């Protein structure tokens, strides 16, 4: 299996590196009993046990681990690059290989994700090498320029290397750098370290979840040896997931139904385990005794029990996988058993009402923003007339039917483009129209309920305040512009669901005003 997924480039480059590693066989036989491992590991300084342990700790990463051992054990002349998708065990394999095989070596590890700037990277590397202790860093001694850093690094390294030690410099999460400001320069520097340092005892290891192609344009340095970490297959993923589970029997029967559909959505083991965990809890819910022997009938029943949740999880993993676990936590906190129905029914329940409080004028403003983002501006006159009256709206609409047809293509285009932008004036005009309409209705509804003031002016009064509230909560976004000219344009970010909820909460007939093709 591992032979098929290892790309040719890896094998070729490792083959070229193998010149210094004579005894290692290129491929292992597929069913690998420990005897043969012994042969493979003979090249290493460590004995049989530690390699076995290492491979045990790295499920389904046998090929990569072997590659690594071969490449690492006599200090390699070339830098090393581990690449492959996220959550494929790159860092784990590397660290285990390094710590298991050479416990005495110096390991300098820098995860570029936790070091958000080049300066932090330099400081961390130097402090790990003992050149400076991190607590006594002073401004003067901290290298600012790459050239200073290189010389400081070389000084620190030569001190160690001269004692006969091999130093491993590991740069993890290298792909993060690409999005940095001036990330190219740093990447070039890191890749050229091998040439710049000229120290054979220093082994550079890069770990990246982007393929080497992503870095080609920036280098021009010596090409490292590659080790590719392929994505796990279904079977491998199952093996990994089942590993160390307290109830492997039940879990494997659960995985046999749940893993395959989910695997179509994501192949990352971490995501899978996150989604599977609550699902498994649901799965084992009907069983009183988890150790109970499960026959086919029980399995079938359990499957029927979990199937609706599985369907939900499938669609949610794709968009926001956190949602499922959210319900899970909430439900398990409040009620134990009846939660299954509630979770499924609750989704519809949620969609009918607004979950948070907003003032009425903010709601109307949001609706008018939604309308002005959705409807083409040319239709405003047809939908709202100057009095905002809803009574003659129909007539108006009919008369402009022809023009509606004419604008169809344009409107369609607008829909394709997503929500449009609009100036403040248009927003306010629509706001005034829809508030006056709904106020009229409100007045009719409760005629004898003495309101102290007609509501329209009320709603209009602090509309800019409400606008800023909406912008703050990300419902509207505003383009930057000169405040005096007031030519800022807005765009509404809400989806139709939310708009409908808001409309329902103020009983505003939103769908009447929405232009649809």
Partner 1 sequence: MAAAAPSSEAPLTAATNIEPFFVLHKGDALSTSASSLPPHLARWRIDVSRLTSSPNHKSRKRSRNEAVEEDSSGGAELYERLRLEAFHRAWSKIQSTINEVLRGISLKLFDQVLEWVHESFSAVRSIARPTTAEVQQPYPLLTDVICRKIPTAFVLTKNAEFVDDITTFRDLAGHLESNGCHLAKLSAADFSAKHGVGSCFRSLLRQLLSYVPDVAHIFALASWYSLKENYDQPIVVIIDDLEQCCGDVLGELVMMLSEWVIKIPIFFVMGIATTLDAPGKLLSSEALQRLEPCKLTLGSPSDRMNALVEAILVKPCAGFCISHEVAVFLRNYFFKHDGTITSLISALKLACSKHFSIEPLSFLCMGMLEEDCENFWRNEFDALPQVMQKYSSGLPSCTREMGSSNSGNNMVKGLSELMKVQKDWSSVLLCLYEAGRHGKVQLLDIFCEALNPYLHTQKMPNSATFLSKVTTENLQIGKSGTSRRFIDQAMDAIRYLPAETLFHLLEVWSIHLKGMNEISVKVKELQSTTISVDSVRITKDKWPRRSTGSAGNCTVPLNDKVAMLLDDATRNFLVPVECLPFHEIICFKNVGILQSALIGNPRRMVQLDLLKSHRHLKCSCCRKNGIAVSASMHDTSIMCNLAQEYGDVINLHDWYLSFDGIINSTHSKVKRKPHASPLKKKSKPMAAESEAMIQARFCRAVTELQITGLLRMPSKRRPDLVQRIAFGP
Minimal distance, residue 225 CB to partner 1, in Å: 21
Q: Please say whether the beta carbons of 80 and 71 come within 8 A.
A: yes
| Long-range residue pairs from 271-274, CB within 8 A, at least 24 positions apart, any chain | 271/87, 271/317, 271/321, 272/237, 272/241, 273/241, 274/321, 274/325
In angstroms, rounded to a whole number, what is the distance separating the alpha carbons of residues 333 and 343? Answer: 13
Q: Is 330 in the site for partner 1 (CB under 8 A)?
A: yes
Residues between 231 and 270 that touch partner 1 (CB under 8 A): 240-241, 243-244, 269-270
For residues 156 and 165, is the Cβ–Cβ distance under 8 A? Answer: no
132-151 binders of partner 1 (CB under 8 A): 134-135, 137-139, 142
Residue 247 or 273 with smaller CB distance to partner 1: 273
Map the footprint of partner 1 across residues 31-60, applying CB under 8 A.
Answer: 57
Please report, as residue ranges, which positions from 392 to 431 form the binding site for partner 1 (by CB under 8 A): none
Choose which of 174, 258, 358, 503 interacts with partner 1 (CB under 8 A). Answer: 358
288 counts as binding partner 1 under rule CB under 8 A: no
Select from 7-15, 23-31, 278-286, 356-364 the region that touches partner 1 (CB under 8 A).
Answer: 356-364
Residue 356 dihedral angles phi and psi, to the nearest 5°: -135, 165
Quickly count: other Cβ atoms within 10 Å of residue 203's Cβ: 23
214 binds partner 1 (CB under 8 A): no
Query: Per CB under 8 A, does 360 bind partner 1?
Result: yes
Confirm or reject binding of residue 319 to partner 1 (CB under 8 A).
Answer: yes
Nearest Cα neighbor of 269 from 100, 84, 442 is: 84
**Pair of tokens at residue 262:** 């989910």
Q: Binding to partner 1 (CB under 8 A): which residues in 480-499? A: 486, 493, 498
* Closest distance to partner 1 from the beta carbon of 210 (Å): 13
Binding residue for partner 1, selected from 286, 321, 346, 376, defined by CB under 8 A: 321
**Helix 360-374 / helix 496-505 crossing angle, nearest 10 deg:** 140
Among 182, 449, 516, 517, binds partner 1 (CB under 8 A): 449
* CA-wise closest residue to 361 among 484, 218, 457: 457
The least distance separating partner 1 from the CB of residue 475, rounded to whole angstroms, comes to 8
Among 256, 451, 479, 511, binds partner 1 (CB under 8 A): 451
Contacting partner 1 within 71-130 (CB under 8 A)? 86-87, 91-92, 95-96, 107-111, 113-117, 119-120, 123-124, 127-128
Which region among 303-311, 325-333, 368-376, 415-423 touches partner 1 (by CB under 8 A)? Answer: 325-333
Q: Identify the residue among 155, 162, 403, 461 touching partner 1 (CB under 8 A).
A: 461
CB 484, min distance to partner 1, A = 9
Nearer to partner 1, 238 or 302 (CB): 238
Question: Interaction with partner 1 in 162-181: which residues (CB under 8 A)?
Answer: 170, 172, 181
CB 324 within 8 Å of CB 312: yes
CA dihedral 414, 420, 424, 427 (to 10 degrees): 60
Of 17 and 358, the one with the shorter C-beta distance to partner 1 is 358
Long-range CB contact pairs, 215-222, < 8 A, 24+: 215/174, 215/187, 215/191, 218/184, 218/187, 218/188, 218/191, 219/187, 219/188, 219/191, 219/192, 220/188, 220/192, 221/188, 221/191, 221/192, 221/194, 221/195, 222/78, 222/79, 222/194, 222/195
Q: Which spans in 76-168 are helix H?
A: 90-101, 118-128, 146-161
- Residues paired with residue 110 on neighbouring β-strands, in sequence order: 171
Nearer to partner 1, 169 or 379 (CB): 169
CB crowding 274-312: b at 16 or more within 10 Å, else e: bbbebbbebbbbebeeeeeebeeeeeeebbebbeebbeb
Q: Which is nearer to partner 1, 184 or 223 (CB)?
A: 184
Helix (H, G, I), strand (E, B) or coil at 421: strand
Nearest CB to partner 1, comparing residues 304 and 425: 425
Min dist. Cβ of residue 33 to partner 1 (A): 25
Stretch that binds partner 1, among 34-42, 185-193, 215-223, 454-462 (CB under 8 A): 454-462
Kindly state whether residue 369 participates in binding partner 1, applying the rule CB under 8 A.
Answer: no
Nearer to partner 1, 39 or 329 (CB): 329
């Amino acid at each position: 299996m591992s032979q098929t997924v290892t790309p040719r480039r890896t094998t070729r480059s490792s083959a070229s590196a193998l010149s210094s590693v004579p005894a290692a066989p290129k491929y292992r036989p597929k069913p690998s009993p420990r005897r043969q491992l012994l042969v493979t590991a003979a090249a290493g300084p460590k004995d049989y046990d530690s390699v076995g342990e290492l491979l045990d700790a790295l499920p389904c990463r046998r090929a990569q681990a072997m590659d690594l051992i071969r490449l690492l054990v006599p200090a390699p002349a070339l830098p090393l690059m581990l690449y492959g998708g996220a959550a494929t065990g790159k860092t784990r394999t590397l660290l285990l290989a390094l710590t298991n095989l050479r416990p005495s070596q110096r390991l300098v590890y820098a995860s570029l994700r936790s070091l958000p700037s080049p300066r932090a990277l330099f400081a961390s590397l130097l402090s790990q090498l003992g050149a400076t202790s991190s607590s006594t860093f002073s401004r003067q001694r901290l290298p600012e320029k790459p050239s200073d850093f290189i010389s400081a690094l070389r000084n620190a390294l030569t001190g160690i290397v001269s004692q006969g030690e091999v130093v491993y410099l590991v740069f993890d999460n290298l792909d993060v750098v690409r999005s940095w400001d001036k990330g190219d320069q740093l990447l070039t520097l890191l890749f050229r370290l091998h040439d710049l340092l000229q120290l054979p005892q220093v082994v550079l290891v890069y770990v990246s979840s982007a393929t080497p192609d992503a870095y080609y344009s920036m280098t021009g340095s010596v090409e490292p040896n590659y080790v590719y970490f392929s994505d796990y297959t279904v079977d491998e993923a199952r093996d990994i997931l089942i590993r160390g589970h307290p109830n492997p029997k039940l879990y494997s029967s659960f995985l046999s139904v749940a893993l395959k559909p989910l695997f179509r959505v994501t192949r990352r083991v971490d995501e899978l385990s996150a989604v599977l965990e609550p699902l498994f809890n649901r799965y084992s819910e009907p069983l009183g005794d988890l150790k109970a022997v499960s026959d086919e009938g029980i399995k079938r029943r359990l499957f029927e029990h979990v199937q609706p949740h599985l369907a939900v999880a499938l669609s949610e993993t794709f968009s926001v996988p956190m949602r499922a676990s959210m319900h899970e936590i909430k439900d398990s906190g409040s009620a134990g058993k009846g939660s299954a129905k509630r979770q499924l029914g609750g989704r519809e329940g949620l969609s009918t009402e607004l979950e948070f409080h907003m003032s009425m004028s903010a709601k109307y403003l949001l609706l008018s923003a939604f309308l002005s983002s959705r409807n083409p501006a040319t239709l405003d006159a047809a939908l709202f007339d100057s009095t905002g009256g809803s009574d003659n709206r129909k007539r108006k609409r009919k008369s402009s039917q022809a023009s509606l047809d004419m604008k169809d293509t344009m409107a369609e285009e607008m829909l394709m483009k997503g929500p449009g932008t609009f100036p403040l004036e248009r927003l306010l005009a629509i706001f005034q129209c829809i508030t006056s309409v709904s106020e009229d209705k409100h007045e009719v509804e409760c005629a004898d309920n003495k309101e102290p003031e007609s509501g329209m002016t009320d709603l209009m009064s602090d509309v800019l305040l409400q606008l800023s509230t909406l912008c703050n909560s990300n419902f509207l976004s505003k383009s930057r512009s000169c405040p005096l000219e007031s030519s800022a344009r807005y765009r509404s970010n809400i989806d139709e669901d939310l708009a409908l909820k808001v409309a329902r909460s103020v009983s505003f007939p939103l769908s009447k005003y929405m232009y649809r093709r």
